[in-house]
Structures are given as structure tokens and as C-alpha cells.
Chain A
Amino acid sequence: MSDLLTDAAERLFAGRAATEQGFDPALWAAVAEAGFAAALLPEDAGGAGTTVAEAMALLRTAAAHAAPIPLAETMLAGRLLALAGLAVPPGVLTLAPVRLADRMALHRDGGGWRLCGSASGIPWARHAAAVVVVAEAAEGPAVVRLDAGGFTLAEGRNLAGEPRDRIDADTRIAAEAAAPAPFDAIALHAAGAALRSVQIAGALAAALALSVQYAQTRVQFGRPIGRFQAIQHSLAILAGQSAAALAAADMATDALARALPPLLVGAAKARAGEAASIGAALAHQVHGAIGFTREYRLHRLTQRLWSWRDEFGNEATWQAAVGRIALAAGPDGLWPTLTAA
């Protein structure tokens, strides 16, 4: 990761007090202007030549500032379009389906296509210029660019107030807006899990920093509460969970740069999710009542952690996926399988 890029991102996000619960259009404009939204695109599709690791460092920084913008979704949706050889439009992009139970179908319709189906929990759909859908077609999985206006929308939101909308489509799709997909909806789900792992690591690191800072300044019984051993040990555990989440984010980054091996994605999302649960609880405990208020900013991080750990598969879902691989490897294959991950 180039320090230049991280520093630029840090300045951009830190310069704004992100008080908004919904979408921050001005911040998004600045992020798009800086090229961050295109960070996962190949250069011939409008990317800036950033590596997957650099893109994930940007995402982690955005998450550390609880930036209310669809950076993860736009990054990934654009990459999916580019991988399928479709043009990447400017503006906010998002993905569907994000839940394994949701399916969307693509049928031939004259010279073009028709996309049918619904999907729930679609991040930022109300703000999106297009939803990138991985649909099932007779020929196999297809990538479809579903433009705004081509679907009906029911608004919803996650615990942090981030838009999570339901979309319904029965829509004609132009021939040039669909293409065979070199991946399926399972891979899309795995990629989403990888991005959420990275975001969790960013938000948890920020929750740790905020908690340490608070413990150093809040005085009770005549001294900063961080001088009490009980608080020190809580923060030490939180630091351990944050380190584990960062390791998980690095595994997720490796997985994205490769073909999303389920062992790596699963271990990343499962471990990051567990770190989010333990870490968010400790951050609140250290903060006491102030952390429980709307006014103080801890909730912007913890509410995201509590949402992100469940999005694209919770810990148990991914632990089971990892467990199946480990059990299939058997006693003699277990260690070689883990070291090859």
C-alpha cells in the first residue's frame, strides 16, 4: 500500500464529520473525484492501476471513519461489470442478490433480455445509478446492468441506517447490458463477505482507538479510567480482537486477489465477525453511558459492526463452510489444507 494513497484517503475522510445516517452526497462526490470508487477496476475499464490491497486499504479507511457512502458496493459492482466485459457507468453502483436465498432470472426477449425476480437487503439501491445483478440464465450465470428506473424499490435500512432496500424487477434489458458471467451468485456472495471483513477491520480499529483515547481522558476516582487494571485488560482484549480482524481483512484481500477460495473467505468473515461482536461489546463497556448516546460517535462504528457481521453470511454460516473443508480434508490433510490457504 502506498503511503501517499492512504494519507490522501485519511485526509479526505477525516476532513468530514460524518454525522449523516444516510448517504453523504458531497463526500461521495469527493471520493469519486479522487478515483477511490474505481479502485477495483482494471485500468482498461477506467481504473487507476491500484492493486486489490490498495483498494482494500481505502475501504478500511472509509470504514474507520464510518463514511456513509457506497464505496464497497460501487468498487465491487464495477469490477463485476468489467470482468464480464460490460461498460462501467459513472455514479453509485450496487449488487444483487446479496442473500443466497434470493434469485433473479434472465430470459431471452426478442433481440434483448428480460430480467425477473426480487432481491432484498440491497445496499444503497435507492441511490444507485445501476444495480449489477448476477442472474440465472439458461446458458448459465449472467451479469446484468439494471439501470435505475428499471425496478421498483421498497426502502429498508440496517442497524446503522445504511440503506438496505428490496428491489423487484420485471424489466426489459438491452442486449449490450447483459453478458455471460465468469462467476456465479455464490462467488458474488463470497466477494461481498470479503469486503465486509475488510470494513469490519477498519471500524473495529477505529473503535479501539476511540476507546483508548476515552480511557485516557475520562477521570473517575481521581484518575483516568485507563489507569485501572480492569479497563486496561478490557482494552488489551479489544486490541487482540482488532489485530485478529485486521489479519482476517488481509486474508479477505488475498482471497479477492485470487479466485475467492472459500476456506480463505470463510475464515476471514467468520473471524472478523467474531472480533466485531467481542470488540463492539468491550468498546461500549469501556465507554460507559456516553457511548450509548446518539451524540457520541462510537455508535456509528458499532452499529456498522453489528450489521456487517450478519451481511453476506454470519459467523456460523462461514464457520460451517470452513468446517466442511477441514472435515473433508481429514486428519492427515487438515494441516496441509490450512497452510495452503
Chain B
Amino acid sequence: MTALEALTFAPPPDPDAATEALRQEVRAFLAAELRDRTPQQRAESWSAADPAFSRRMAARGWIGMTWPRRYGGHQRSALERYVVLEEMLAAGAPVGHHWVADRQSGPNILRNGTEAQRQAILPRIAAGTCSFCIGMSEPDSGSDLAAARTRAERVDGGWRVNGTKVWTSGAHRADYMILFCRTGPAAGEDRHAGASQFLVDMQRARGNGMTVRPILDMRGAHHFNEVSFTDLRLDDDALLGQEGDGWKQVTAELAFERSGPERFLSSFALLTEAVRVLGPAASERAQVAIGRLCAHTLALRRLSRSIAGMLQAGADPALQAALVKDLGNVLEQETVEVVRLLIDTEPAAPEDATLAAVLAHLVLTAPSFSLRGGTREILRGIIARGLGLR
């Protein structure tokens, strides 16, 4: 059983009075904040960015919750943070402005940044005024991140960057990018050697060697971008962590990226609308279908809270996170299929009835759920490695 022990989930911490009080506080906040938010807006979930909303959340102390106070954090537990995240997602709050920064960029800077970098950036993230994008994927480097070719070369007093990143969500509005690129020789025997991460100040870089072009998704929405670097000059202090440690750092960052409740709640707005339309006197077939989705949600929530507890205990739940994300993505995608067959409706543009609009949004976004943050195939490869098969 030793190979399987790596996949063990610790029992999730029991809810206590403090976390439940916090939950009620978040619900009261959201009831007022989201009063006029339509179901289809709620379905946008963490893809929707609203800087003003992020600032109001920050004022409550709900961004950078677990970070030290000296960096603007609030020294709350991972479980308290989990409560805030899941309440935000279940209610469909527009958390997109700060989401990436709070989830992975901030923790990366906290772990690997210099004292000056922490002081300069973390308090701004915690105030909800600083957003991040993720500079990982490239035209020839998607799932195979180690094939990245964007390169930073040492020059006098800093670095010179050349290359192209794609699928960079939010690059057009982000304040910073954490750029993953090569700094050593071209990938040889050890494909993971010779990579580093940099903090790119987007405002300074734009027009000075960096170009951001929109890539519309198939709905016509602008989330993705292509970001090209032509002799972009970065100062020495833009290096994040150790030169050559990029692979180790990016892997740890991906564990944060995959570990949260946003990996199984993306279709919760549709489940909520289905419950509204079906009503309390629904058919037995509807009871079975809705009950199944709820049973899956409850089991996933338990696994997901277990991960929060493991993070709190200082464990590394990268494997568990891959497993929960894979299970969660299946649920998110199945929810769309279950609901559309349960309620005879045609997915339609937003001016139409609510359920049809939420359905339309999710039919068109669901394919991305098992792509973003690591494809299903990559996750299953990680799980197989955890089982001792690779």
C-alpha cells in the first residue's frame, strides 16, 4: 500500500465556531454586495474581474488572509481562507481581479521573493489593488511546460527577455506577470534545469519590449492574450527566487493553482438555477439527477477541505490537488449535460430566460474546465506517478 499512501487524504479539520461565524459574515456581505447580480453574471464566477469589489473584500481582510501581518496579511488559517473562497464561488462573486494573485502569485512571492519584493507587492495584493497574470504557456509549450523557449539573458545590471507567451488570462489588465522562462542553456538531459521566474511590471514593460494582444475565446470574450517580448529589459531585482530554480518554484505554484474549490464549483450557478426552475415538487427523475450532483459536490467538498487542512499543516498536497481537480472538472462538465437533459430548454443569449442564459454560458465554457490549470491528461499522469506507475 506504500504507493497509495502518497494519495491519502487527511481528515478535514472540523468546522469550529470561528469559521462558522466567518461564514455568516461572508454571507451577509455577499447578500448585500450581489443583490443585483444576475444568475448569468454569477456563472462567470472567478472569470469576472471587478476591482472595486476586490477592494471591498480586502477591506474585510479577505485577501491574503493567511499571510503575515507585516505584509498586509491577516494570519488567518487555511481553513478560514477556504470558507471565504467557497462562499464567494458558491454565490458567484466577481473575484477575478485578485484571484490569481491571492491564490498563487502572492504565496510564490512570500515563499521565494526577496524582502524588498515582499514589501513592495504583498500589501498591494492584500489591499485588492494589484492583480497578476501567469506567464507559463507558449505557442510550442502547453502541457509540456518544460519545453518553454522564452529566454532571459543576463545583461549589464539585469536581464533581456525574448519570446512569446500565450493563453495569458488577464494580461491586458494585470499589474504584474510572473514569467517562467529559460535562463540557462537550451534544455538538455535535465529538461527541468536552467529555468527561472521573473516579476514583470506590466505597466513599465508595455511599449518597452512587451506587446499584449487579445485572443478572443470562442464566445468572443476577451480573457486570453498573447504576450510577446522583444528585448524587454528587466532589472536584477526582477528575478523571483533563485536563478535556475524556476521549475521547482513553478511546480509548487501549480499545486496552489489546482488546490482550491474553484475546481469543482464552476457549474454551481447552473445547479442553483436548475433547483429554482424544477421547484420542490419536481419529478422523481429530477430528484435522482439533482441528488446525484449534490452527492458528488458533498464528497468533493470534503476532499477539498482536506487539502485546505493539509496546507494548514504544512503538508504538500500536490497529488491530492490533481486528483480533486480531475474529479471536480468531471462534475462541472457533467452538471451541464445533466441539467440540459433534465429541463427541456435551448441555451440562449443573455436577454432570454435565466436558466437558458446560464446554460448557454456553461455549454460554451465547460470545455475549458478540464484544460485550464492543467489538462485532464496531465493530471491523470500526475496521479499515475503518485501511484508509482511512472
Contact = CB atoms under 8 A, between A and B. Distances in A.
27 contacts: A215-B389, A229-B381, A232-B380, A233-B384, A236-B380, A239-B7, A239-B323, A240-B323, A240-B326, A243-B9, A247-B300, A248-B295, A266-B291, A270-B291, A316-B288, A322-B294, A322-B295, A323-B288, A325-B291, A326-B275, A326-B294, A327-B278, A327-B280, A338-B294, A338-B297, A338-B298, A339-B86
Interface in A102-132: none
Contacts of B379: 236
Interface string A314-332: 0110111111111111110
Contact of A243 (B287, B291, B327): B327
Contacts of B287: 319-321, 323-324, 327
A209 interface: yes
B296 A323 contact: no
B302 A247 contact: yes
Given A232-B380, A235-B389, A271 B299 contact: yes
A323 B290 contact: yes
Interface in B319-349: 320, 323-324, 326-327
Interface in A292-337: 315-316, 318-331, 334-336
Given A209-B1, A233-B380, A233-B384, A330 B280 contact: yes
Interface footprint category on A: 35 or more
Interface string B1-27: 101100101010000000000010001
Contacts of A316: 288
B288 A320 contact: yes
A174 interface: no
A232 B282 CA distance: 41
A244 interface: yes
B175 interface: no
A338 B294 CA distance: 8
B368 interface: no
B322 to A, nearest CB: 9
Contacts of A330: 275-276, 280
B284 A320 contact: yes
A218 interface: no
B175 to A, nearest CB: 32
Nearest to A238: B387
Contacts of A92: none
Interface string B81-96: 0000010001100000
Contact of B7 (A243, A321, A325): A243
Interface in B278-318: 278-280, 282, 284, 286-292, 294-303, 306
Given A271-B298, A322-B295, A339-B23, A209 B384 contact: no
Interface of B: 1, 3-4, 7, 9, 11, 23, 27, 86, 90-91, 268, 271-273, 275-276, 278-280, 282, 284, 286-292, 294-303, 306, 320, 323-324, 326-327, 377, 379-381, 383-384, 386-390
A250 B388 contact: no
Contact of B291 (A205, A226, A233, A323): A323
A212 B275 contact: no
A237 B380 contact: yes
A61 to B, nearest CB: 11
Contacts of A331: 272-273, 275-276
A324 B291 contact: yes
A233 B377 contact: yes
> Which 7 A-B pairs rank lowest in CB-CB distance, beginning with the nearest?
A323-B291, A323-B287, A322-B291, A319-B291, A232-B384, A236-B380, A236-B383
